[in-house]
Amino acid sequence: MRYGFLTAGLLAAGFLVATSVQAAEGPHIGVVNLQEVIGKSQAGQQANKELQALVSKLQSTVNDRKQKLLVIKQQMDTTDSKTGNYKQLLKSYQDGQNNLQQLVLMSRQDIESRRQELLQPIDQELGKVLNQYAKSHHYDILLSKDAAGAVYSSDTYDVTDGVVEAMNRDWAQMQKAKSTQKPSGGKK
């Protein structure tokens, strides 16, 4: 019985020493800039290119409409304001302005919708990568540098570049797996 108490006491002392040493080391903390990870990763760059293509296409459509309105405006400037032709031009111009405003609003909504569609799988994958990265590098805590998760951080703790590399490796594997799953000759 006496040995049981002695063993229990030594065991408790061992746990106390082990937790004191661990507490002295402190938690292993990393800081990551998520926007930078997304922006520098292959997945983020691919999404950005796709989004920029959509923006360019929509901007071209808006510019065409603006050019047509400019032509109508120039015709109005050279037409007598008391004629029926002027009233018809004025109505066309006003309708064109309203249509242009609607086009711009719808274009912004399309861009935001597409941005969310493109970022959703990246965000999901980034969550997995962050968990894997933290575990494989033995981090106790990863803070987001850009989401008010860290008010200040030393560059010593910044693991953004490592997360970008991990994200690119994981994304490449995911894309490779997707391409092997597609039937040959099939449509997207």
* 51-79: pLDDT as tens digits: 999 999 999 999 999 999 999 999 999 99
The pLDDT value recorded for residue 59 is 97
What pTM does this model have? 0.69
> Which tokens sit at 16?
């106390």
- Angle subtended by helix axes 42-78 and 84-136, to nearest 10: 170
Summarize pLDDT for 110-125 with one digit per residue, the tens.
999 999 999 999 999 9
Is the model's pLDDT at 172 over the cut of 50?
yes
Name the percent of the chain lying above pLDDT 90: 53
Which residue pairs from 61-69 have beta carbons closer than 8 angstroms and sit at least 24 positions apart in sequence? 61/103, 61/107, 62/100, 62/103, 62/104, 62/107, 65/96, 65/99, 65/100, 65/103, 66/100, 68/96, 69/93, 69/96, 69/97, 69/100
Helix (H) or strand (E) holding 144: strand 141-144
More confident residue, 99 or 156: 99
**CATH number attached to the domain at 27-180:** 3.30.910.20
Is the model's pLDDT at 81 over the cut of 50?
yes
Is the model's pLDDT at 96 over the cut of 60?
yes
Is the model's pLDDT at 88 over the cut of 90?
yes
The pLDDT value recorded for residue 18 is 41
In this structure, the number of other CB atoms found within 10 A of the CB of residue 155 comes to 7
In the chain, the largest separation of any two C-alpha atoms, in whole Å, equals 115
The pLDDT value recorded for residue 9 is 40
The answer to whether the beta carbons of residues 152 and 31 sit under 8 Å apart is no
d(CA 159, CA 133): 10
